Amino acid sequence: MAAVTLNQVRKSFGSTPVVHGVDISIDDGEFCVLVGPSGCGKSTLLRMIAGLEEASGGEMRIGARVVNDVAPKERDIAMVFQNYALYPHMTVFDNMAFSLKLAHASREEIRQRVDEAARILGLTEYLGRFPRQLSGGQRQRVAMGRAIVRKPQVFLFDEPLSNLDAKLRVQMRTEIKALHQRLKTTSIYVTHDQIEAMTMADKIVVMNGGKVEQIGTPLELYDDPDNLFVAGFIGSPAMNFIPGKFTAGGIVAAGNVTLSAPAGVPLESGREVIVGVRPEHLMVSDAGLPAEVVVVEPTGADTQIYCRIAGVDVTAVVRERHTFRPGETVRLAPQLTFLFDPASGQRLA
Applying CB under 8 A, which residues contact other proteins? 50-52, 71-73, 77-79, 81-83, 85, 87-90, 98-99, 102-103, 130-133, 135-136, 146, 150
Identity of the residue, 160 or 279, whose beta carbon is nearer to other proteins in the bound complex: 160
* Of 131 and 276, CB closest to other proteins: 131
CB of 103 to other proteins, least distance (A): 6
Measured in degrees and rounded to the nearest 5, phi and psi for residue 96 equal: -75, -30
> Least distance to other proteins from the beta carbon of 156, Å?
9
**Minimum gap (Å) between residue 141 Cβ and other proteins:** 15
- Taking the C-alpha atoms of residue 5 and residue 26, their distance in angstroms, rounded to an integer, is 6
Residue 126 near residue 57 (C-beta atoms within 8 A): no
Toward other proteins, which CB reaches closer, 51 or 276?
51
Sequence-ordered list of residues with C-beta below 8 angstroms from that of 117, at least 6 positions apart, any chain: 96, 123, 145, 148, 149
For the bound state, the minimum distance from the C-beta of residue 135 to other proteins, rounded and expressed in Å, comes to: 7
Cβ–Cβ under 8 Å, residues 62 and 2:
yes
Question: d(Cα 179, Cα 53) in Å, to the nearest integer?
Answer: 27
Q: In this structure, are strands 4-13 and 57-62 parallel, antiparallel, or unpaired?
A: antiparallel
Nearest to other proteins of 2, 317 (CB atom): 2
Residue closer to other proteins by CB (options 109, 297) is 109
Measured CA to CA, the distance from residue 253 to residue 245 in angstroms comes to: 6
**CB atoms closer than 10 angstroms to residue 109:** 12
3-class secondary structure, 15: coil
Smallest gap from Cβ 75 to other proteins, in A, equals 8
- Which lies closer to other proteins via its Cβ, residue 106 or residue 299? 106
Q: Tell me how far, at minimum, the Cβ of 285 lies from other proteins, in Å.
A: 50
Least distance to other proteins from the beta carbon of 89, Å? 4
Instruction: Classify burial at 71, counting beta carbons within 10 Å of its beta carbon; exposed 0-12, middle 13-18, buried 19 or more.
Output: exposed
Cβ neighbours of 119 (radius 10 Å): 11
Find the helix or strand (DSSP H, E) in which 4 lies. Answer: strand 4-13
| Cα(112)–Cα(132) distance, integer angstroms | 25
Nearer to other proteins, 13 or 335 (CB): 13
